[in-house]
Structure formats: structure tokens, C-alpha cells
Structure 1
């Protein structure tokens, strides 16, 4: 265990390298006194050039920056695409059950970010079947070598779809895959011709993973990467290639906090 951020309660990391720096984006957990639950209203951004000293930036995005959202800043994914930065987030929709996935953009990684679509990218009523209210959680996005971009997400059920070239809509139908003990927190990673799908597995959540030669599967389950955190029921991983090394990031609560 090597904690990066110690002065704030953070969760659900997503990370990228840009212009010689690493940018880490997290959820921000700030429950009031006496509340033993996650209360997350915005996301945070930190940067570093050496993975040792980190700079905290002003919060670049909050859930209600999406005017159609009622709140709840769940896990997210930031990518660089065509000289802009795209932040895919899951939030609560004001009117449609099932949570929703939105997209915000900025010209620089530290933001600030604005709603790219002025409407959700994915809502509960778009799913083939809405099984429960939190199904549209934790998007992860990967642009493949052929330029096509895919999004995976879900809670209890793992969904995926291809995005169009402007990242403004789904290019094809929503499909659902089965991997053992899938809970939430999906994360896509590609290395040496292999696609890795990491995710929160079981309860309390370990980090499991599957591998495939194609981004759409079929997926071969390979086991557990990370055991459950000692005092957290949830987990969402991230990966980083930087300075010739590969890094694995995961949330790990401090003592006394869920």
C-alpha cells in the first residue's frame, strides 16, 4: 500500500499521462458528521511529474454541472481524444431511473469541464432491461488502435457499446457480457495485443480481471489482482504506463472510514 492522497477522502481513480505529467482524477467523499455512507458531489484532480509530489487543482467538475443531473458523483473515466479531454461520469438523473452517464470536455486535463452534450449519453431507459436503479455506474472508455472507441459500464451487469466518432452517441446496440462475480467499477486496459477488463468482484469487492484478444470479447476470466480493502466494501482500479513502468491504482481507505 502506498497512499497518494492523504488530506482528502478520495475514491474511484482514473489516470492519464499528458505532456510529461500524470493527472489523477478521483471522486470526493465528504459525509457530514455522524453519516457512515458515501456522500460524493464532485470530482478532484491532482497532477505530478514524478509520482511522488502531487499538486491539487481546484475541483474541475461537480455532478450538478450537468443541468439534467440531481447529483451523486460516482466513478468516472477521463481520456484524451482529438486534442481535447473527455470525462465520462455516472450521476443521478433528475427524471429517469437507473442512473445516467454523461460526458464533459475541456481543452486541458485540469479543466474546468463543461457538459459536452447538454443531455445524458446513456440513461436507464436505453438498457435492454433495467434490473435495478444503480445499473448505469462506473464507465470506462478505450479508443482502440483502429480509432474506434468503446465504453464499458455497469453495476451487477456489465454492459458495453461502441461510441461514434464524435463521442456524442452510441454507434451500435448496448450489449451485456458475463464475467464471474462482476459487481461494478469496470476498467479497460490494452497491452501487447491483449485487452484487460478489470472490475470490482464480489462483496466486499476484490479486483478481478478477464482477458481477450478483441475489445468486444469473448473474455477469459483470469482471477483476482487485488484483495478487498480492509474497511471498504467497494473498489475500482486504474492503470498507468509512465516512465517505462506500469502502475496499478486502487482505492484503499484510511482507518476509520468506509
Structure 2
């Protein structure tokens, strides 16, 4: 029997919020996500996230997730390529990590609780693909001092640095194998000149709280961090070198968003700069049920970062979607009511689909027109229908595909139907209709000209 997780019901209710059908932040609606770590690789942005369990009243997190995009609007769900069980020595707390690539291998640095010591330690997962699967690179912690939130930066000279810390800020110089380091664990002085003065908590003299994100731009080193809990805002400092001395520069994102934490990641992609963060924007959201979002921004001429405000719209789409090639069902700008799950034989499919659930794909360029629509589907029930709507979940109906029972949720069949009136560029909505209960699973879809 299929048991539906709580968030899918909440995601369905998101469709009832005025304007939410047009809003594409947060970027994931099928689960709660937190602590984004973006990575640009081969023409895509990959964002690595934590996963807040439904109904959490603490930071209850057991695995990590990966999503990617080529257009900053439609995101592909790659599932969970790493979890607590990846690390045999870890007992709990799959918290905020960071991924980097070196020499064709991807290294995921994560804080987890060491079963033997009961303290937080930094582990390293490794993979040959940005979407995993990741395995434990060491079989033990890379470094352990009870603190969290690792971030890795590789400088222009090839020297890699691992930063982490709450309540302190630490770094080590990683060797080129990325799984060992030279020298000792070094503390970065948390001075008020370097990280600002805190006013409400004398136990911590500076604004630095956690979540460092260190990078280099035009010869200047940036350290963007979560500041002054609780609730946190995002501040930043700059330095002439990767280890300082740091100078506090101000606020990047003020306190907002309904979560008492925030966690930042910044990348440049396709000529734009993007700021990732988390908030509590989904129904049921809060300090322990967070969601990742993103905004585009522009540095000032002197290299400083402007104040960035959370929006429901998110960044503009880069380019358009070609509907005449195959698209995974788990790629969308907004998913209402559905969940994703592993597909038998590998991959991810969309499942737990009820009547009136839908998927939005932003900016689909039909050109002179589409004639037919084909989808790979499965159903252990009587099935349902896929309505092809343009502009909104109740927009122009361009076609309807009927899906019958296939004898199982992973017994796949291909269905096709005629399409009329689909020309030009539109937001495409795959709206699912039928009786009660789960209707069908969707693996992929494609239009034909």
C-alpha cells in the first residue's frame, strides 16, 4: 500500500494560495529542503540541500538531496544520493554540507554526529557524477571538533581550504586528494572589525553565527555567513586573502522568511549572479521545515553585494524549454500535490498523483505548433487523465491523454494523444484528473511537431 507523506498534502494546499501558481520560489515543493549549496558544472546549476522531515520539531534530517537546472526556472529532482547510512560511523544529523569538484570527482563535505564520540564531525562523500551515488571517502571523520557547516573553496593556485564552525570559525588546508589536510586546524579570529559587533548576546562578541560560504571574485575574497541568531540574517565580510584579515561589509539578506535560521550560497551562472537561501514559505513551513529559494542579483561597481529581499517569483528564466525532446516528469518549475520517488531500474518518477494535482513547466517554446503528446506512465489503479493546459492549471486545454491501469505503479506503458492550439511560448501545465485515490505515475513526456 502506498502511504503518502504529509508534505504532498501541504503542497496541494499551496495551489490554493492566491498567486502561488505563478510563483516559483521555493524551488522545491515536494519536500522540505534547507541549507542550499549550489555548484555550476557543465552548463547546469546543481544545488545540494538538506532535507527537513515532515512535521519536524527539531533539525530532524536523515539524508541529502540534489536538484539541477539549465534555465534557473525548471528544476530536476535527482533524489537522494547520500544519507546517514552512507557513513557507518554516523548516528544522526544530516546537516548543512557543501560539494566541490576536482579532477572529475565530486566531494561532499557534511556534518554528522559521530556515534563513537557523540560530537559533530565532518565526513566526506565522493562520487564520479554530480548526482552521485556518493560513498564514504574515508570510513571515518575528516576532522572533528564538535562544530558544523563545512564549506570548501579552491583558490586559483590550486590550494583548497575547508572552512566550518559554530560558534567559532575554523579552516584547514586540504591536500590535492581533498580527503586529507596539511598543518593543523586553525581558528580565524572573530573580531568585530572582521565580522561586525553583536548587540544582543554578550556570549558572542561578533555577528558571525554559522554557515560560512567563502569564494573569490575579481581578486577579492568573500565570506558570506549566517549572522546573529535568532532569527538569523545573512551578512558578509571580505579579505585580500583566503584566510583574512577579514573586514565586515554589512547585510546581504535581512531577517525575513519565517525561519529563525538562514543559510546562503552564491554562484555565477550564464552571465548572472545567484543567491540561494532558505525560508519557511511552503505550507507547514517553519524553523524546522524549511525550503530552498533563489534570487538573481548584481554586484555594485565596487564589488559590494546589495541587500537582497526574498521573493515568491524567483529569477527570470534563461531561454526556453524545447518540448520536442524527452523531459523527465520530475523536472518542473512548480509541483502541486505530487511527490517524487525512485523508479524501479533507476531514476526518479513523479508519483502519489491525485485528482487536480499538476506540474508546471515554465517557458515551453512550441514554435509553429505541436501535433501529439507522448508520456511514459504507470498505474496500479484505474488510471486517470493528463490534461495539457497552457498558461495556468485551468488555462487553454491543448489535449487530454487517457491513462488506464497498467497493473502496477512501476509497470510502465507509453500513451499518446493529439494536441491542438499549442504554438508559441507558454507555461505548460500537466494537470491530472480522474477519480479518487492515486491515479498514475509519470516518468517522462515529449511533444511531437
Q: Note the residue ranges of structure 2 that are not aligned, 5 or more in a row.
A: 1-23, 196-205, 287-449
For 1:69-91, what per-residue CA distance to the aligned partner results, in whole angstroms no more than 9, with x for missing partners?
Answer: 10211100000111111100000
- Offset from partner CA, 1:236-257 (integer Å, 9 cap, x none): 1001110011111111112542
Give per-residue Cα distances to partners, 1:166-194, cap 9 Å, x unaligned.
11222111111213311111111210001
Q: Is the 8 A contact 1:163 1:171 kept in 2?
A: yes
* TM-score (ref. length: structure 1): 0.91
Distance in structure 2 (CA, Å) of the matches to 1:76 and 1:169: 17
CA distance in 2, matches of 1:236, 1:151: 17
Distance 1:195 1:88 in 2: 21
Cα pair 1:229 1:253 within 8 Å, conserved: no
Question: 2:152 pairs with 141, 145, 148, which one?
Answer: 141
Structure 1 runs (4+) deviating above 6 angstroms are none
Q: How many residues align?
A: 246
**1:22 Cα deviation from its structure 2 partner:** 1.2
Runs of at least 5 residues in structure 1 that lack an aligned partner in the other structure: 125-134
Residues 74 and 89, structure 1, Cα contact 8 Å, conserved in 2: yes
Normalising by structure 2, report the TM-score: 0.53
Aligned counterpart, 2:17: none
Tell me how far 1:51 sits from its aligned partner: 0.8
Task: State the partner residue of 2:228.
Answer: 202
Partner of 1:12: 35
* Map of 2:275 onto structure 1: 248
Aligned CA RMSD, in angstroms, stands at 1.4
2:110 and 2:123 in contact (8 A); partners too? yes
1:27 has 2:40 as partner:
no
**Bigger CA radius of gyration:** 2
In structure 2, distance between residues paired with 1:20 and 1:225: 26
Q: Deviations over 1:78-124 (max 9, x none)?
A: 00111111100000100124300011111000001000111110112
After TM superposition, the structure 1 stretch with the greater mean CA deviation from structure 2, 204-213 or 229-238, is 229-238
Deviation of 1:38 (Å): 2.2
> For residues 175 and 229 of structure 1, what CA distance do their matches in structure 2 show?
33
Q: In the alignment, which residue of structure 1 is the partner of 2:209?
A: 183
Instruction: For 1:48 and 1:231, locate their aligned partners in 2 and report how far apart those are by CA, in whole Å.
Output: 26
Moved more, 214-223 or 89-98: 89-98
Residue 300 of structure 2: aligned partner: none
Deviations 1:173-217 (A, max 9, x none): 111121331111111121000111111100211111110010011
Q: State the partner residue of 2:135.
A: 114
1:94 aligns with 2:124: no
Matches within 5 A, 1:20-99: 20-32=43-55, 35-99=56-120
The residue aligned with 1:238 is 265
Match of 2:255 in 1: 228
